[in-house]
Amino acid sequence: MCGIVGYIGKNPALPILFSGLERLEYRGYDSFGFCVLDDGKIDFLCKEKGKISDQCHIKNSESSGSIGIAHTRWATTGIVTKENAHPHFDCNQEFFVVHNGIIENYKEIKEKLLNEGHKFSSETDTEVLAHLIEKYFDGVLEDAVKKALKEVRGTYGLAVVSPKDPNKIVVARMSSPLLIGINGDEFIIASDPSAIITRTRQIIHLDDNEVAVLTPDNFIISKQEKENDCWKIADKKIETIEWNIEEAEKGGYKHFMLKEIMQEPATIEDAIRGRLYLEKGNAKLGGLEIVEDRLRNIDNIALIGCGTAYYAAKVAEYMIEEYAGISAEPDIGSEFRYRKSSFNKNTAGIFVSQSGETADTLAALREMKEKGLLTIGVTNVVGSNQARETDAGVYTRSGPEIAVASTKAFIGQLTTFALIAVYLGRQRDMALVMGNRIIEEISRLPELAREILDTKEEIKTIANKYINYRDFWFIGRKYNYPIALEGALKLKEVSYVHAEGTAGGELKHGPLALIDENCPTIAICSSDSVYEKMISNIEEVKARNGKVIAIATKGNEDIKKIVDDVIYIPKTLEMLTPILSVIPLHLFAYYFADALGRDIDKPKNLAKSVTVE
Q: Which domains does the chain have, with CATH numbers?
A: 2-241 (3.60.20.10), 251-446 (3.40.50.10490), 455-605 (3.40.50.10490)
- Which of 110, 223, 602, 608 does the annotation list as catalytic? 608
**Is 2 a known active-site residue?**
yes
pLDDT of residue 76: 82
**Among the listed ranges 22-36, 47-61, 168-182, which one has the minimum average pLDDT value?**
47-61
CA distance 567 to 112: 62
Characterize the bridge pairing of strands 282-283 and 300-305. unpaired
Asked whether the predicted pLDDT for residue 365 surpasses 80, the reply is yes
Mean pLDDT across the chain: 92
Instruction: Give bridge partners of residue 180 from the DSSP assignment.
Output: 189, 204
* pLDDT tens digits, 503-534: 999 998 999 999 999 999 999 999 999 999 99
Asked whether the predicted pLDDT for residue 304 surpasses 80, the reply is yes
Between the CA of residue 393 and those of 264, 285, 512, what are the distances in Å? 22, 9, 42
**Among the listed ranges 26-35, 176-185, 414-423, 589-598, which one has the minimum average pLDDT value?**
26-35
* Residue 61 binned pLDDT confidence (cut-offs 50, 70, 90): confident
CA distance 322 to 454: 32
**Among the listed ranges 77-81, 138-142, 309-313, 416-420, which one has the minimum average pLDDT value?**
77-81
**Among the listed ranges 42-51, 251-260, 333-342, which one has the minimum average pLDDT value?**
333-342
- Which of 2, 35, 306, 525 does the annotation list as catalytic? 2
Instruction: Give bridge partners of residue 209 from the DSSP assignment.
Output: none
> What's the whole-model pTM score?
0.81
CA distance 59 to 400: 26
Asked whether the predicted pLDDT for residue 132 surpasses 80, the reply is yes
**Is 314 a known active-site residue?**
no
Radius of gyration of the chain (CA): 25
Q: Is 69 left (phi over 0), alpha (psi -120 to 50) or beta?
A: beta
Other residues' Cβ atoms within 10 Å of the Cβ of residue 340: 4
* Residue 240 binned pLDDT confidence (cut-offs 50, 70, 90): confident
* pLDDT tens digits, 14-23: 999 999 998 8
* Residue 429 binned pLDDT confidence (cut-offs 50, 70, 90): very high
